[in-house]
Chains A and B, each alone.
Chain A
Amino acid sequence: MSSKSLKNLTAPLSGQNPVIVQILGICSALAVTVQLKPAIVMGLSVMVVTAFSNLVMSLLRNGVPARIRIIVQLVVIASLVILVDQVLKAFVYDVSKQLSVYVGLIITNCIVMGRVEAFALGNKPWDSFLDGIGNGLGYAMILVIIAFFRELLGSGCLLGFRLIPESWYIAEGGFYSNCGIMLFPPMALILVGCIIWAHRSFNKDLQEK
């Protein structure tokens, strides 16, 4: 793998991160991050869709007239999303139910179409594929960070395993209480803000002015 190809993979993880730098895909980042497991599954699904839609559109890029390219992209993305949806339903039915409409809504995720438009239509298949994987990973990474805090502080569990012992809770005579606001989407938005804050204070070149 040449260093240029590698950069396609690594840039979206930090400096070009789709969620915290380009501010794309915020809606699903707030919706599916109450627990860690759905967040991981959602991140992987988006990664698969971005990677393969990038690959397919990059292969087709010279044969598709510019006027109808959006509709072609939509056909490709929609087919991939339906595939992912069916796979989830077949193998992880409970998570698929938790994610409900948000799997179908990957079609409308700005990251997928944004990468196809901005990258796959102008680059070779291998680079486009890596770019898709990288952006999917960057998205998944942020989702996992948000879901980690939301599940840990909001319900005292991680991936369903109880980390904070029952005896700590006020109802059981202890002192601790779950932070209920973590279960609401607004707190996820504040968490996204905190991640952006931390990220920018380490990456001076991203700071405005």
Chain B
Amino acid sequence: MKALRNIVDKMKPTFSKGGKLSFLESTFDGFETFLFVPNKTTQSGAHVRDCIDMKRTMIVVVLALVPALLFGCYNTGIQVGLEGWTAFFYGLVRILPMIATTYIVGLGIEFTAAQLRGHAINEGFLVSGLLIPLIMPVSTPLWMVALGTAFAVIFGKEVFGGTGMNVFNPAILARAFVFFAYTPQMSGEKVWYSDWTMMGAQVDGVSGATALEQLATTGSMQWSALDAFLGFIPGSFGETSTLAILIGAAILLFTGIASWKTMVSVFVGGAATAYLFGALGAFDYPAYLHLLVGGFAFGAVFMATDPVTSAQTSTGKYIVGFMTGALAILIRVVNPAYPEGMMLSILFMNALAPLVDYSVVEANISRRKNRVKLVK
């Protein structure tokens, strides 16, 4: 550790103001603070004393994503008829190029933008870059992943001013772009086909709809609810296992990174709407399946809780969370063109969250004004 510190210190003058490579200052700063907790302290004003900074926050989210990632690797292999470690390595080989693509493209754009603006590099993309491969079908061509990432980072984030300023969640925006731009590759019968025949994968047997699409089109699925909970169903890479996602949720909630208010109210909203539609006879399968299949759980835990794009006020979190869950099920059940409603409902509520916050704040102000009048 000390040796690394010495190397960094030695390099520092070259990149600082007046040094040879001073135009790369923010890139260097980005790497330095990635390796070591910065020792800068604020000189004025009141601040909360806390050793956690944005890099540490983001790393916890990445850790929380690891169970879903590892299970996704295993399940991808299982779905093409492999077993044990072979299945795991098959999935790993499929996902690594996607992860590499998103990080190279996304971080490349982020670094360039920070450099051009003279800003410090923000680490928001650490999480987005891992989320994007996890919510794509495994067979998505890499250039589509790259294009979606570039679109999300430029138009979802940098245009608005970088990390912390974005209106929409970049990861879900990347998926939305690829979904609408290349619909045939993202939905329908072919979404789960894998054209890689290595390690003895049986390709012919796996071409087919995801569990969610089977539910939407035929009203039943060939997998049991337990399979859906554990995640042995076809679907996007990281979204299949509700169990792995719940482990991630536990990490996020224990460390206090994600808001339990949003998370719980998404599930409550989704369950309430699903049972309502079930009672109305919109579908025959049990309503709780809606919470297990597709991207519902993944979106609720990792996407809807995004601290930037979700609501900021406490009451607002309940409202936005509930409506995200409710809208997702509403889109799934009512609109046959979109079997997966989670993506659209999160984007929609991202757009509405500032309005909800505004109303909550205004309501609070007028409530307290009334109280003043009563005293008079």
Chain A residues close to B by CB (< 8 Å): 170-171, 175, 177, 179-182, 184, 190
Contact = CB atoms under 8 A, between A and B. Distances in A.
Interface of B: 141, 143-144, 155, 177, 180-185
A182 B184 CA distance: 15
B181 A180 contact: yes
B177 A177 contact: no
B143 A170 contact: no
23 contacts: A170-B141, A170-B184, A170-B185, A171-B184, A175-B141, A175-B143, A177-B141, A177-B144, A177-B182, A177-B184, A177-B185, A179-B181, A179-B182, A180-B180, A180-B181, A180-B182, A180-B183, A181-B177, A181-B180, A181-B181, A182-B181, A184-B180, A190-B155
Given A177-B182, A181-B181, 20 more contacts: A170-B141, A170-B184, A170-B185, A175-B141, A175-B143, A177-B141, A177-B144, A177-B184, A177-B185, A179-B181, A179-B182, A180-B180, A180-B181, A180-B182, A180-B183, A181-B177, A181-B180, A182-B181, A184-B180, A190-B155
Contacts of B155: 190
Contacts of A184: 180
The 5 A-B residue pairs with the shortest CB-CB distance, nearest first, are A181-B181, A181-B180, A179-B181, A177-B182, A180-B181
A180 B155 CA distance: 18
A49 B144 CA distance: 43
A110 to B, nearest CB: 26
Contacts, number: 23
A200 B180 CA distance: 29
B153 to A, nearest CB: 14
Nearest to B147: A179
B197 to A, nearest CB: 15
A108 B118 CA distance: 45
A184 B177 CA distance: 12
Contacts of B184: 170-171, 177
A69 B183 CA distance: 51
B346 to A, nearest CB: 18
A175 B141 CA distance: 8
Contacts of A180: 180-183
Contacts of B177: 181
A205 B155 CA distance: 24
Nearest to B184: A177
Nearest to B181: A181
A180 B185 CA distance: 11
Contacts of B144: 177
Contacts of B182: 177, 179-180
Nearest to A179: B181
B140 to A, nearest CB: 11
A182 B177 CA distance: 10
Contacts of A175: 141, 143
B170 to A, nearest CB: 15
B216 to A, nearest CB: 21
Nearest to B141: A175
A174 B181 CA distance: 17
Nearest to B178: A181
A190 B144 CA distance: 19
A171 B185 CA distance: 10
A180 B184 CA distance: 9
B179 to A, nearest CB: 9
Nearest to A177: B182
Contacts of B143: 175
A180 B187 CA distance: 13
Contacts of B181: 179-182
Contacts of A182: 181
B356 to A, nearest CB: 23
A184 B182 CA distance: 13
Contacts of A170: 141, 184-185
B101 to A, nearest CB: 14
B237 to A, nearest CB: 20
Nearest to B177: A181
Most chain A C-beta atoms within 10 Å of own C-beta, residue among B144, B180, B184, B185: B180
A181 B177 CA distance: 8
Nearest to B176: A181
A180 B144 CA distance: 12
Nearest to A182: B181
B182 to A, nearest CB: 5
A175 B143 CA distance: 9
